[in-house]
Amino acid sequence: KCNFCQKDFKSSYTRVITHLLKISGKGVGPCLKVTTRDLWDMQKLDEEATTRINSNASKLVPLPPSSYGKSSYIDLKKRKTGNVSAIEKKFNISEREHLDYEIARMFYSAGLPFNLARNPYFQSAFTYAANHNIAGYLPPGYNLLWTTLLQKEKANIDRLCASIRNSWNENGVSIVSNGWSDSQRRPLINFMAVSDGDAMFIKSVDCSGQTKDAQFIYNLLKEVINEVGYTKVVQVITDNASNCKGAGQLIEQEFPSIVWTPCVVHTLNLALKNICVTKNVESNQVAYEACSWISYIIEDVMMIRNFIMNHSMRLAMFNEFVSLKLLSVAETRFASMVIMLKRFKLIKSGLQNMIIYEKWIIYRDDHQGRAKTVKEKVLDDLWWDSIDYILPFTAPIYDMIRFCDTDKPSLHLVYDMWDMMIEKVKKAIYYHEVKMVHEESPFFQVVHGILIDRWNKNNTPLHCLAHALNPKVPLHKDMEINQERIKCIEKYFPNLEERNKVNMQYAEFVGKNGDFRDFDYIENRYAMDPKAWWVLHGACAPMLQTIARLLAQPSSSSCAERNWSTYSFVHSMKRNKMTPKRAEDLVYIHSNLRLLSRKS
């Protein structure tokens, strides 16, 4: 409301200013009650306010001087002009150098990682701008980046991923899920679709305020399965938690052709936990008595690591003798304990040299008792012998974890690898105990029991059927494989007539009869990838070929776990006001853009 003429304005204050200062051409009538003296006073106030605002604005800092003698300032309008050489004029050397300074200043001022300069999209953006005359172009602002452009890019990525989705009809797909908590402690569940080594991000769900029981997880999985198409889904992979197992059983009831598969990597980690960190409970006394010495060694290693890392003086002495760094251990990943033991073996000589170093001997602090314990352990040959024993028999378990901890197809290899892993563990233990194969080892019996127990909890009919469809595997009479294969075929082909045809085709496949007796068919069994073999030679057994898509499936939920690092990356402390939905869109673009880049 104007205090001079009492006129009301329903818009912003700018219309009032235009009215009082009698500015023409703005669609606002001038105030007739304002005198010349009043107008002069208000114009002076407006100028003072404008000057004050401009003086408080952040000032642009000059760039480094050009190597060609020109001043390099961010304000290009103030750049000096002068005589330049023909070469400089031809290649715009000074302008290129100035742009380099501008880009470097952007990195330094925003704290951007230098690795961003290797991003192909970073380079293509500047290349496009340099090759097109876009005079007066301004880059997109904050609001445009996280609203309109974000949604357009997501729609574009979704369109580009259509070809990958179409391949699921032939190759099948596995729905992989895993839970996590973000930086604001919000519980999130991640869903990925994996097929033939390609992991596509589907969505993440914010579970705040929800009870994450079997029914809740089942509803989420069911929604994703319906979104993907249940006829394309081969299996659902989660961890071994009881609520996930219950959800998996509900999924199998709802969708008879889909199998719930516990993550192999999670299962092997639990096996390592049972071996390396045995609980002292009444029901576990035999295992505790046999394996408790391993937990003592691991406790010693962690104590030594923390003793060195938690004091700058001790850490400085360690760095003086050892070039490698001490690793951090993930509490939920028991394979990291094996990695820590490997690292200690590598730095053994450096640790021992540090302990007998004169500065370590004369160094005094508040932990003299612990320092003495560290010295005793590091110089104890028997203690190092224990580490040398742990590493060989845990190595096969660790190697299988590493092999399965990928998106690559491995479902058909799990059965055989588990048997081979147990044999390698037995060989390492018997070698250390100097026992013959026919002799019994109480320690191996305990370890073997733990591994078999974990297999029984992890094994599904899919592992056996996928193993049986592997053309590289010779015919054998394993009862477990035959029984589980029959269960799977009954699930896939409930019609008796169809099931008989499938069994006939399988008999020809394993017996190398009919079309399967062809020389190329037999020769390619061992030379080609199993899935490629079925694509090339499976036409003679079309019904069996449809279930050979098991050979394109993963065996772990590792891709969903790795994706949380991406979520953490886009949901850093600088972005902690970002809603879960917008963060999900960013993860969708980030993850699937990398997938498309690899595919292209």
CA neighbours closer than 13 Å in the CB half-sphere of residue 440? 3
Phi-psi region for residue 211, left (φ > 0), alpha (ψ -120 to 50) or beta? beta
Question: Shortest CA distance to 334 belongs to which of 383, 283, 274?
Answer: 274
Using alpha carbons, list the distances in angstroms from residue 221 to 210, 337, 500, 557: 15, 33, 33, 14
**Rg over CA atoms, the chain:** 34
Q: What is the DSSP letter of 445?
A: H
pLDDT for the residue 79: 46
Work out the mean pLDDT of the chain and round it to a whole number.
85
The C-alpha atoms of residue 259 and residue 236 are separated, in whole angstroms, by 6
Cα dihedral sign, 85-90-93-95? positive
Is residue 558 predicted with pLDDT exceeding 60? yes
Taking only the tens place, the pLDDT of each residue in 388-433 is 999 999 999 999 999 998 889 999 999 999 999 999 999 999 999 9
pLDDT for the residue 473: 85
pLDDT band at 186; cut points 50, 70, 90? confident
The token duo for 132 is 């097109």
The C-alpha atoms of residue 524 and residue 532 are separated, in whole angstroms, by 10
pLDDT for the residue 360: 76
Phi-psi region for residue 229, left (φ > 0), alpha (ψ -120 to 50) or beta? left
Q: What is the DSSP letter of 547?
A: H
Taking only the tens place, the pLDDT of each residue in 585-598 is 888 888 899 889 88
CB within 8 A of 161, min separation 6: which ones?
Answer: 200, 592, 595, 596
Question: Shortest CA distance to 93 belongs to which of 114, 136, 101, 60?
Answer: 101
Which CATH number does 155-263+557-599 carry?
A: 3.30.420.10
Q: Are β-strands 198-206 and 233-238 bridged in parallel, bridged antiparallel, or unpaired?
A: unpaired
The token duo for 480 is 């477990």
Is residue 50 predicted with pLDDT exceeding 60? yes
How confident is the model over 300-329, as a mean pLDDT?
86
How confident is the model over 458-475, as a mean pLDDT?
89
Tokens 């029901």: give the residue: 283
The C-alpha atoms of residue 544 and residue 492 are separated, in whole angstroms, by 10
pLDDT band at 453; cut points 50, 70, 90? very high
pLDDT for the residue 101: 92
Q: What strands, in cross-sheet order, belong to the sheet with 173-181?
A: 198-206, 187-195, 173-181, 233-238, 259-262
How confident is the model over 281-293, as a mean pLDDT?
88
The overall pTM is greater than 0.85:
no
The C-alpha atoms of residue 553 and residue 234 are separated, in whole angstroms, by 8
pLDDT band at 88; cut points 50, 70, 90? low
> Comparing 81-85, 197-201, 235-239, 271-275, which segment has the lowest mean pLDDT?
81-85
> What DSSP element (H or E) covers 199?
strand 198-206
* % of the chain beyond a pLDDT of 70: 87
Q: 3-state SS of the chain: helix, strand, coil percent to 5?
A: 65, 5, 30
Q: Are β-strands 198-206 and 187-195 bridged in parallel, bridged antiparallel, or unpaired?
A: antiparallel
CB within 8 A of 242, min separation 6: which ones?
Answer: 214
Q: What residue type is 61 in one-letter code?
A: V
Taking only the tens place, the pLDDT of each residue in 224-248 is 999 999 999 999 999 888 999 999 9
DSSP-assigned states of every residue in 254-299: H-TT-EEEE-HHHHHHHHHHHHHS----GGGHHHHHHHHHHHHHHH
Is residue 576 predicted with pLDDT exceeding 70? no
The C-alpha atoms of residue 18 and residue 312 are separated, in whole angstroms, by 65
Return the SS3 of 474.
Answer: coil
For 593, phi then psi, to 5°, come to -65, -40
The token duo for 19 is 């009215």
pLDDT for the residue 179: 82
The C-alpha atoms of residue 339 and residue 429 are separated, in whole angstroms, by 19
CA neighbours closer than 13 Å in the CB half-sphere of residue 392? 14
Is residue 385 predicted with pLDDT exceeding 60? yes
Give strand pairing partners of 262: 238
How confident is the model over 440-445, as a mean pLDDT?
94
> Comparing 7-21, 166-180, 500-514, 542-556, which segment has the lowest mean pLDDT?
7-21
pLDDT for the residue 294: 94
Q: Hey, where are the domains in the chain? A: 13-56, 76-134, 155-263+557-599, 273-407+423-447, 460-552
Return the SS3 of 7.
Answer: coil
